[in-house]
Amino acid sequence: MQPLNDIHAVILDLDGTLIDSVPDLDAALNGMLQDMSLPAIDEASIRMFVGRGTPHLVKSTISVYLDGQEAAKSLDEALTLFYKHYRTVNGEHSHMYPNVREGLERMVEKGLKIACVTNKPSVFTEPLLAKNGIYPFFDVIYCADSFPRKKPDPFPMVMACRKFQLLPKQVVAIGDSENDAKAARAAGCSLFMVPYGYNYGIPVENQQPDAVVADLLQAMDLIS
């Protein structure tokens, strides 16, 4: 594709785009299941549940073993236990994907504003970015609890554009999931997608992004 022109900011997803956080989630979810006297779950299953926010992640996990009514009754307890374990392991086992730091550095060199818009709660987002050494790159960080609505609703991306005093067409969103794609398109932003994250087993090409990029460095080659 031809490079995008007149782009002044980038909106980045977190889990599955910048950082592979599933190893942390694996430890926390299995700690939760153990506390609930339920069997362990494998990491491959967890990867299929990530991307729609913490309540969905936890409910999907316990629903492997509990029927709908039991899962609904147990959700509050499960969330409390998950948060207890996740506070302990957040950032301990996760790792950045290749060329994330290099891509962020290139964004700074290009003079782009950088936002992180994630469905992860703020209590976990900022520590995770800090532990991976990339927190200072971000001009704006919007989390699951920043607004009443979260992705796939476009509202957080629209607010990031407003914060930067830019039109959505001057901003490119980079993500890995259907939620990212729907939010970006509804907000009016351009869309790049990475193929290595968490998209519920669906090829990212199905979301018809402006480009599928191998990593953030390649994304920067497509911004003029």
- Kindly report the CATH number assigned to the domain that includes residue 199: 3.40.50.1000
Give the 3-state secondary structure of residue 5. coil
Residue 2 lies in a domain: no
Task: Give the model's pLDDT for residue 61.
Answer: 97
**Count, residues in the chain:** 224
**Residues 103 and 197 grouped into a single domain:** yes
Q: What is the mean pLDDT of residues 90-98?
A: 96
Number of compact structural domains in the chain: 2
- Say whether 6 is catalytic: no
Whether residue 64 is found in the same domain as residue 100: no
Q: Model confidence at 175, in pLDDT bands (50, 70, 90)?
A: very high
CATH number at residue 26: 1.10.150
Q: Does one domain contain both 36 and 81?
A: yes
Q: State mean pLDDT over 3-18.
A: 96
Instruction: Give, as one character, the DSSP assignment of residue 206.
Output: G
Region 79-86 average pLDDT? 97
pLDDT at 52 over 80: no
Assess whether 16 and 111 both reside in one domain: yes
- 46 and 114, same structural domain? no
Active-site hit among 6, 13, 145, 176: 13
Domain interval for residue 126: 9-20+96-221
pTM of the entire predicted model: 0.92
User: Both tokens of residue 118?
Assistant: 């994630």
Residue 51 has pLDDT above 80, yes or no: no
Q: What pLDDT, on a 0 to 100 scale, did the predictor assign at position 1?
A: 74
For 210, half-sphere exposure in the C-beta direction (CA atoms, 13 angstrom radius) is 21
| 14 and 113 inside one domain | yes
| Same domain (yes/no): 216, 110 | yes
Query: What is the residue-wise DSSP string for 9-52?
Result: EEEE--BTTTEE-HHHHHHHHHHHHHHTT-----HHHHHHHTTS
**pLDDT over 90, % of the chain:** 92
